[in-house]
Amino acid sequence: MTKIAIKVENLSKAYNLGQIGTGTLSQDIQRWWIKMRGKEDPLFKIGHINDRTVKGKDGDLVWSLKDINFEIEQGQAMGIIGKNGAGKSTLLKILSQITSPTTGKIKINGRIASLLEVGTGFHPELTGRENIFLNGAILGMRKSEIKRKFDEIVAFAGVEKYVDTPVKRYSSGMYVRLAFAVAAHLESDVLIVDEVLAVGDAEFQKKCIGKMNEVSKTEGKAILFVSHNMESIKQLCESAIYLENGALKEVGSVNDVINNYYSQFVSQNKNSTFRRDNSCTKDCYLEEAIITQNNIHTTFIDNKSPIELRFKIKNNIKLNICFEIILRDSNMNPIAFISEGSVYGIQHLIEVGKYSGNIILSLPFLAEGNYYMDFIIAEKNIRYVDNVECFMSFQINSPIINETSWVFKQSRAQGSILMDSINVSINKI
């Protein structure tokens, strides 16, 4: 009989917007007394769902997670998908015991290793060698265990040359490689990995997926993996959880869950225009965009000439950002990953305010059919500030022009995410 690694029952997490506590000592004491008597907190009865499209008021109670139930068996890899703000990271923090649930309970059999943020548990002044021992100790590894696996950890991370260099001089990619290597080599029963692998290059991401597959299949570890890269989810996981506004919308086979997740975009984004309401509170986000060809706004694209993506963004803090585009086919499979300057080579330092910009894309390698586009704003190649999935669609109505191009051959032969570069120009409005 297969042993359950994680069991989540009626799990919920509530937050107060804009304040800690209820605002008065008497109300906090009243809530504490009600809880001690085993009765329901009256504040929870008026909670709002975690709908990011609705503007909240100071003091509102928001359910980041609400009534979540699922089980994970030993040796099972489960993906967690959903839009930004759906509650994915909150769920992982509760399972990692970084924060506690408001209601409900979790049962975990065995030791947990988690990798939730780049460089968590690392001290910038210490060397890579010292941080391996420090981070390993934080994760619960004994010194003898770390010594035994030290060479394997360093080799996997690929930082042999810099292992005695302070990690403050590491790139963010080196940071996450070393952090993942320590977590993956911990003798744990459950491995929890958040979106941090997006920082690494394609080769390292493939290496990480392979390592997680290995520890899941051969060592019987349960894997919980959050990613916006659906191909990575499909490669690693047999099942998936779909979260929406803090609620569990679906649990099932990975292909079914991902197909249902993407089906919402088909009905929502059937044109080449995007406009977001004013309730978004992200540091920087896409406000509106349109696709034009030959200066005409259109949904039907002739691949003989480039298209122009015209967009407006709003920035709330000073940031160093770059832009990425993911092209998807009619089945929502990614066929092209396009970034500035061959992955984060170019960045824009922008102040607070609104900006307009444009991206020129040549698409001679696309066949006739329907396509979707993701728009990503990334900060200093560390995190996605805004990731708008399938925010726009268009239709190619002409045959392939360049069937001998590298892009075409790679997409047809491998179905892989492709690398290319784009030039983005932005100006303050």
**Architecture of the domain made up of 270-428:** Distorted Sandwich (2.70)
**Given this model, what pLDDT does residue 54 score?**
44
**Given this model, what pLDDT does residue 186 score?**
79
- Name the β-bridge partners of 348: 321
- Homologous superfamily (CATH) of 4-110+189-262 is P-loop containing nucleotide triphosphate hydrolases (3.40.50.300)
- The residues of the chain that CATH labels 2.70.50.60 are 270-428
Pull the structure tokens for residue 348: 């824009």
**Given this model, what pLDDT does residue 58 score?**
44
**Given this model, what pLDDT does residue 324 score?**
86
Contact 74, 218 (CB under 8 A): no
C-alpha span between 281 and 284 (Å, rounded): 8
**Given this model, what pLDDT does residue 17 score?**
60
**Given this model, what pLDDT does residue 404 score?**
44
Per-residue pLDDT reduced to its tens digit, 79-88: 999 877 788 8
Q: Would you tell me how many other CB atoms lie within 10 Å of the CB of residue 1?
A: 4
C-alpha span between 219 and 51 (Å, rounded): 39
- The residues of the chain that CATH labels 3.40.50.300 are 4-110+189-262
Query: Which residues in the chain land under pLDDT 50?
Result: 46, 48, 51-59, 269, 342-344, 403-419
**Given this model, what pLDDT does residue 417 score?**
42
**Given this model, what pLDDT does residue 314 score?**
92
- In the chain, the amino acid numbered 351 is E
**Given this model, what pLDDT does residue 126 score?**
92
Pull the structure tokens for residue 134: 């420090």
C-alpha span between 262 and 254 (Å, rounded): 12
**Given this model, what pLDDT does residue 10 score?**
92
β-pairing, 77-81 vs 239-244, is parallel
Per-residue pLDDT reduced to its tens digit, 329-352: 877 777 787 777 544 456 788 899
